Amino acid sequence: MAELTVATPLRVEYLAVKRSLPTARVVLTGMGPRRSRRSRTSIVGDGPLAVMGVAGGLGDDVGPGDLVVADEVRDGPTSVVTLRSDDLVEALRERGLRVHVGPIVSVGRVAGNQARAALARTGALAVDTETAQLVDGWPGRPLTVVRSIVDTAAAPLLRTGTLTRGLAALAALRRAAPAVAEWASTVGIAGISPEGPHQREEGT
């Protein structure tokens, strides 16, 4: 069975996930699209790849501490990859975690309120600055994305309670990590996934 690699953009995410996945290959990839692109050499391989971290929530139903599991990853308006993680979602919910399934969109910088409102209208459930660069270009490789929500339009980053929400989001990531390991053990060997991501074609 190929080794699970977990990409975590921030050090606090790395520490949260690594504690729960001591035998997995957890990689600190850096914040933002530029660092994410540079870090791809550290996540090269054909084993299962999970992106885990925090994100901003979009939409009325997504709140701090919730998890969003991507069924699509977008780079701005462009669809990068579509995913299926049904077994993972079920396992997370069995652990008592509140889970949403939907698109995650990556943007070039932290999105303000107006940008978030526009992104929410596209149906995206979470926004970050790294996922698209980390998952693009791995045809046939088992992929999943789990993001834990820290802030929303109703509870923005620069507001009292951010620290508490951040700790709750990191705790949700820690609780989610063993389910991600279980997912990795069932999705396939040497990059062959029974569900398989659907990558965008060049020029689309």
Q: Output the domain CATH number for residue 160.
A: 3.40.50.1580
What is the model's pLDDT at position 108? 82
Cα-based angle 9, 77, 134 (whole degrees, multiple of 5) = 25
How many structural domains is the chain composed of?
A: 1
Confidence of residue 151 (pLDDT cuts 50, 70, 90): confident
Q: Give domain status of residue 189, yes or no.
A: no
Per the CB < 8 A criterion, the answer to whether 59 and 39 are in contact is no
Q: Give domain status of residue 179, yes or no.
A: yes
Q: What is the pTM of this model?
A: 0.87
Q: Give domain status of residue 196, yes or no.
A: no
Per the CB < 8 A criterion, the answer to whether 71 and 82 are in contact is yes
- Pick the residue with more confidence: 9 or 187? 9
What is the model's pLDDT at position 202? 40
Tens digit of each residue's pLDDT (9 = 90 or more) over 52-90: 999 999 988 898 899 999 999 999 999 999 999 999 999
* Domain limits for position 145: 5-183
- Using CA atoms, how far apart are residues 121 and 78, in angstroms rounded to an integer? 15
Q: Which residue matches tokens 């109703």?
A: 154
Q: What is the DSSP string of 95-111?
A: TT--EEEEEEEE-SS--
Q: Give domain status of residue 95, yes or no.
A: yes
Confidence of residue 154 (pLDDT cuts 50, 70, 90): low
Question: What is the rounded average pLDDT of the residues 91-116?
Answer: 89
Residue 195 has pLDDT above 70, yes or no: no
Strand partners, 140: none
Confidence of residue 156 (pLDDT cuts 50, 70, 90): low
Q: Give domain status of residue 52, yes or no.
A: yes
Can you tell me whether residue 2 is helix, strand or coil? coil
Q: Give domain status of residue 103, yes or no.
A: yes
**Nearest alpha carbon to residue 102 among 134, 127, 77:** 127
Q: Give domain status of residue 72, yes or no.
A: yes
Per the CB < 8 A criterion, the answer to whether 102 and 123 are in contact is yes
